[in-house]
Structure 1
Amino acid sequence: MEKINSTPSKYIQGQGVLSSLAKHSLQLGDSALIISGGKVKHIVSPIIAKSFGDAHAVFYMETCEGECSRKEIDRLVTICKAQDIKVVIGVGGGKTLDTAKAVAHLFNVPVVIVPTTASTDAPSSALSVIYTETGQFESYLRLLKKPDVVLVDSQIVAQAPVRLLVSGMGNALATYFEARANLRSGMTGDMPTKAAMLVADLCYQTLLKNGLKAKLAVESKTLTPEVENIIEANMSGVGFESDELAAAHAVHNRLPLLNESHHLFHGEKVAFGALMQLALENAPLEEIYQVLGFCRSVGLPTCLADIGAADISKEALMSIAKAACAEGETIQNRPFKIDPMAVYSAILEVNQLGIRQQHAQSIHA
Structure 2
Amino acid sequence: MNAVLLVDDERDFADLLAERLSARGFQVQTAYDGEEALRLAAVHELDVAVLDVNLPGIDGLAVLRELKKLKPQAEALMLTGQMDLATAIMGMKLGATDYLVKPVPIERLTEAILRAQDRREERLEGQRMAETAKMAALGHMAEGVAHEINNPVNTMVSLAGWMEDLAQELREAQATGSANVSQASPDNTLAEMLASARKMREHGQRVKEITAKLLCLCHKAEPRELSATSEAVGSGALLDLGRLLERLVDERRGRLEDCGVNLSPALSPDLPSLALPPSGLPGADLGTAIGNILDNALDAMPGGGQLWLIASAHGHEVHIEVEDTGQGILPAHLPRVFEPFFSTKDVGQGTGLGLSVSYGTVKALGGDIDITSQPGQGTKVLISLPC
Normalising to structure 2: TM-score of the pair? 0.26
Structure with more contact order per residue of length (Cα contacts < 8 Å, sep ≥ 6): 1
- Structure having the higher strand fraction is 2
- Structure having the higher helix fraction is 1
Choose 1 or 2 for highest CA Rg.
2
